[in-house]
Amino acid sequence: MSQAAQTMLREGIAAARAGNKPLTRQLLREVTRAEPRNEVAWLWLAGVAESPQEAVLHLERVLTLNPANERAREGLRATRLRAGMAECQAGNKPAARRWLLALTEEQPDNAQGWFWLAGVADTPQEAVAHLERALALNPDDLRVAQSIQSHRLSAGVAEYKAGRPEAARDYFAAAVEQDPHHVPALFWLAHLAEAPQDALAYIERVLELEPDNARAQQSAENYRRQLDMTLAGWQCGFCQAVAAAEPTICPECGALLSLDDLEPFFQPAHGINPRLLREAIQRDEAMLAESSDVTLAFQVGLAYLNLRQLDEALRYFQVAARFQPADHPLRGQVKALWQHKQALDAEARNRARTQEAPRTILVVDDSPTVRKLVTMTMEKQGFRVVDAADGQAAVERIRTGGVPDLILLDITMPGMDGYQVCRLIRQCPETQRVPVVMLSGKDGFFDKIRGRMAGSTEYITKPFKPEVVLQVVQKYVQPR
């Protein structure tokens, strides 16, 4: 080491011991610039670093130079934790995760490291795993115990939404095992129970803890009804009619009870009791306002479907299907219903257009007389007429006014002639099927062939009588 570097190192250490951190940093940075492998300078520089992140970098430099430096290794463990905490508090999760993962990898018994790592986990499941490590290292840490409860609930919900009910049940059960008074977890265990008697047992535990819980009271009533249905063999969820075995159609309210065959729902409703179904909907919707019960949502959707209220039925079926696995039959049934609704809506729109809108004729001719004659003739027959004096105006009319039902197109016009306009019409997907009747002062064979090649549908020779034009138009378009 040079004499100047040795002097600056001694002065830097003296400044550090005197508490003058800015001067210490200035002197020691000069030393490390001159002597990059000066282990002592990097070690002292870590002690006066402006942030724990900077201190970590300096200590890692020391260990690169001398892996046996135990003082640097011990300092690095504590400093990495502080760096991770600082990044957490700054909201920089990726950086915090890097520091804390490095800490827990080198020091797996650092409970604080696992706790802070849980706070920057990518998923609630990962957070629970980190907190369980922290709790195993320090079982008396109340902060960890409280945090793991909320993360277990979030992890259970995430597993449920991902279509893994068994994993979800494990998280909720662990939450209740740690805290038997955990009401939200008890509700979820009831929801995931495989039998109504098990679900009812969880809800009754909730009512022991909170006797006035309205949601628990309504859920208990619902599960008792399901249990009665199980004991009776079968009971209609709409009208409570009972039978020895589940039928396809309820004998009391006439409701179809399954989505296995959707075709009957696409026919007019016959034999149902609308009053009983509406009463069931009103009752079950009130219960759904207090609890997100997937089974109940499906039942309300089925009631609406029996009433042929497809929009409302789909709304509830989509709620029920959202929490089912990707291969669950309900998802395919909901998709089929949605496609049927789309087809019905398209049919209704087409019917409305057919019933309300008059047929539109576009007349393109540079002669005002011809345009007026055609307009008067067509409007008397119930057509709507739009006119244009040239090809450019015709294109603009179609762009702004919509696609006409038929086009009467003069051949000889200023600018674009009729052949050019016809080719443009045939090239556009929206207008390529519109009938185009060409109007020409020539009756030559070549002109007709040229018109056909351009895409014309029919050919009329000028001068023409109004009834001739009408006859040709009615050949392709009937007025509404």
pLDDT at residue 210, as a whole number? 92
* 316 and 342 both lie in a single domain: yes
Q: Residue 425's domain is classified under what CATH number?
A: 3.40.50.2300
* 296 and 394 both lie in a single domain: no
435 domain residue, yes or no: yes
* 461 and 394 both lie in a single domain: yes
275 domain residue, yes or no: yes
- Domain stop point among 352, 381, 400: 352
* 365 and 259 both lie in a single domain: no
442 domain residue, yes or no: yes
* 341 and 375 both lie in a single domain: no
223 domain residue, yes or no: no
Q: Give the gyration radius of the chain's Cα atoms.
A: 40
**Of 141, 207, 143, 135, the residue nearest 174 (C-alpha):** 135
453 domain residue, yes or no: yes
Kindly report the number of other CB atoms within 10 A of residue 71's CB atom. 11
- Domain stop point among 352, 379, 408: 352
User: Does an H or E element contain 331, and which?
Assistant: helix 329-356
* 407 and 327 both lie in a single domain: no
pTM for the whole structure = 0.44
- Domain stop point among 307, 334, 352: 352
343 domain residue, yes or no: yes
* 455 and 364 both lie in a single domain: yes
> What secondary structure does DSSP assign to 237-288, as a single string?
TTT--EESS--SB-TTT--B--SS--GGGGSPP-S--HHHHHHHHHHHHHHH
363: left (phi over 0), alpha (psi -120 to 50) or beta: beta
**Structural domain for 259, as ranges:** 233-352
* 261 and 372 both lie in a single domain: no
pLDDT in tens, 155-183: 998 988 888 889 999 999 999 998 899 99
Domain count of the fold of the chain? 2
Q: Residue 278's domain is classified under what CATH number?
A: 1.25.40
- The series of mean pLDDT values per 10 residues for the chain, 480 residues long, is 75 80 82 82 77 78 82 77 78 82 82 84 89 87 86 90 89 90 90 86 91 87 74 74 80 88 82 90 84 82 92 90 83 90 83 72 93 91 91 90 92 89 91 91 74 88 88 84
pLDDT in tens, 10-66: 887 787 788 888 887 888 788 788 888 888 778 777 777 777 777 778 877 877 888
* 347 and 382 both lie in a single domain: no
245 domain residue, yes or no: yes
* 416 and 326 both lie in a single domain: no
Mean of the per-residue pLDDT values for the chain? 85
pLDDT at residue 231, as a whole number? 60
Given a contact cutoff of 8 angstroms between Cβ atoms, the answer to whether 456 and 340 are in contact is: no
* 295 and 376 both lie in a single domain: no
